[in-house]
Amino acid sequence: MGEGASSSSKKSRKPDYSRFTQQELPACKPILTPQWVVTVFIFLGIVFIPIGLASLSASEKVVEIVHRYDEHCAPTNYTQPDLAYHDRIAFIRNNKSNKTCIRTLTVPKKMKHPIYVYYQLNNFYQNHRRYVKSRNDEQLRDPNFKGDLKKTCAPEDMNGNEPVIPCGLIAWSLFNDTYGFSIKDKGLPINRKNISWPSDKKHKFGSKVFPKNFQKGSLIGGGALNESIPMSEQEDLQVWLRTAALPVFRKLYGKIEHDLEANENITVVIQNNYNTYTFEGKKSLVLSTTTWIGGKNKFLGIAYLTVGGICLFVAIIFILMYVIKPRPFGDPAYLSWNLNPSGN
C-alpha cells in the first residue's frame, strides 16, 4: 500500500502551490463611487477640449487651393449630360486632340513653403479587392524574379512571351496628368524628389529592376515609364502603388519651395491625359501648406471636442443625479474579494 501511494503521488500533475498560479496576487480593485466617476469624466473633458481647439486652430491655419479641372479641360458643345459624357470620352481617347489646358489659380492668403502639390481623384475605387491584389511585390524588388505572374497580375502580366515590368492593374492605371506652374510668365519650379516613402524606395523597389514591356499592349491604361530609370527611382509609380482606402483620395505630385504671396495669380499648364471620364470620376489640383497637425482636416479637432463635450455633459448629469436624488452606498465589506481575500 505504501509503494502504491508513493507511485501515485509521483505521477500527480498537480502544480506546486503559488499565489501566481492560483491568481491570489494583490490587485487593484477600485470601487466606482460617484465622486470617482465624475472626476474621471471631468478630467477627460478638460484634456480633450483643449486638444480639439488646438487641432481646429492648426487646421484653420492651413492655406489650401483646390481646383477641379476635368470638366474645363475636356471641352464639349453639348449641354445634355449623356451627350457631354460621350463627347468627353471621345476627346480623351483621341490621341490627336490637344490635351493642353491652361488654368489660373489665385492665392487666397500667403502660403509659406514648402507648398505641397497633390492631385485628387474622386470616384476612383483603388480599394477594390481585385485591383489591390493585381501586383507582384517580389517582381518589383528582385531582378532575378522568374515566378508565375498570371495568378497575381493577369491580364497585365505578359506582353507576348515577355513579362511586363511592373505588372498588374495598379501600375497599368498609373496617373499621367502633368502640371507646370508660372507667375507673371516666370516659371515656378516643382521639386519632384522625395515624394514617396523612404521605406518604399529602400525595401520595396529594387535598384537593379527596370521597367520592361510596360504600356506596350493593345490597351493603354495610364502613364508610361522611362526604361532607363530603375524602379527605386520611379517615385511617381511608388506613390501610385500605395493604394488608397477611400474612393476620394489625394496623392503627392511634388513640392514648391518658394513662398506665394496673397492675391498672386498662378498660371497652370495642365496636360489632361488621364481618363476619368469613362467612370464619371473627377480630377482636381490641390496646393496646400501644412502645420504640426498636417494638412487641412477638421475631423480630428471635431472628434476631440465631441468626446470632451460628451464627457462634461455626462459629468454634469451624474452630479445632478447625485445631488437631487442620492442613493445610499452598499457596504464594501460584502464584496467577494473582501469576504474571501485569499481566494480560497
Q: What is the pLDDT of residue 192?
A: 93
Q: How far is CA 290 from CA 116, 180, 294, in A?
A: 8, 22, 5
Cell of 166: 511592373
124-130 LR contacts (CB < 8 Å, sep 24+): 124/244, 124/247, 124/249, 124/276, 124/279, 124/281, 125/247, 126/170, 126/243, 126/244, 126/247, 126/249, 127/243, 127/244, 127/245, 127/246, 127/247, 130/169
With cut-offs at 50, 70 and 90, classify the pLDDT of residue 327.
Answer: confident
Q: Which of 218-222, 298-302, 309-313, 317-321 has the lowest mean pLDDT?
A: 218-222
Q: What is the pLDDT of residues 62-83, one digit of tens each?
A: 999 999 999 999 888 888 888 9
Distance (Å, whole) CA 100 – CA 247: 26
Q: What is the pLDDT of residue 43?
A: 96
Q: Mean pLDDT over residues 9-31, rounded?
A: 75
Distance (Å, whole) CA 117 – CA 257: 11
- Is residue 338 pLDDT above 70, yes or no? no
- Is residue 329 pLDDT above 90, yes or no? no
The set of residues, in sequence order, having a beta carbon less than 8 Å from that of 88 and lying 6+ positions away, is: 74, 76, 277
| CA angle, 301 then 304 then 309, to 5° | 125
With cut-offs at 50, 70 and 90, classify the pLDDT of residue 315.
Answer: very high
Q: Mean pLDDT over residues 288-298, rounded?
A: 91
Q: How far is CA 215 from CA 113, 169, 218, 333, in A?
A: 36, 11, 8, 77
Q: What is the pLDDT of residue 6?
A: 55
Radius of gyration of the chain (CA): 31
Question: Domain extents for the chain?
Answer: 33-62+291-323, 64-289
What integer best gives the mean pLDDT of the chain?
88
With cut-offs at 50, 70 and 90, classify the pLDDT of residue 339.
Answer: low
Cell of 240: 501610385
Q: What is the pLDDT of residue 80?
A: 86
Cell of 251: 496623392
Looking at per-residue pLDDT, the higher value among 190 and 5 belongs to 190
Residues for the chain: how many in total?
344
Cell of 212: 520592361
With cut-offs at 50, 70 and 90, classify the pLDDT of residue 340.
Answer: low
- Is residue 2 pLDDT above 70, yes or no? no
Q: What is the pLDDT of residue 9?
A: 54
Distance (Å, whole) CA 214 – CA 221: 10
Q: What is the pLDDT of residues 125-180, one digit of tens each?
A: 999 999 999 999 999 999 888 888 888 888 888 888 889 999 999 999 999 999 99
Closest CA to 258 of 58, 104, 107: 107
| DSSP assigned state of 31 | -
Q: What is the pLDDT of residues 42-57, one digit of tens each?
A: 999 999 999 999 999 9
- Is residue 336 pLDDT above 70, yes or no? no
Q: What is the pLDDT of residue 5?
A: 54
Helix (H) / strand (E) element for 186: namely strand 186-188
Q: Mean pLDDT over residues 264-279, rounded?
A: 94
Residue percentage of the chain with pLDDT more than 90: 60
With cut-offs at 50, 70 and 90, classify the pLDDT of residue 277.
Answer: very high
Q: Is 41 left (phi over 0), alpha (psi -120 to 50) or beta?
A: alpha
Q: Mean pLDDT over residues 300-314, rounded?
A: 96
Cell of 149: 505572374
Q: What is the pLDDT of residue 309?
A: 96
Closest CA to 321 of 310, 313, 333: 313
Q: How far is CA 344 from CA 168, 337, 341, in A?
A: 64, 10, 8
Q: What is the pLDDT of residue 3?
A: 57
Residue percentage of the chain with pLDDT more than 70: 93
DSSP 3-state of 187: strand
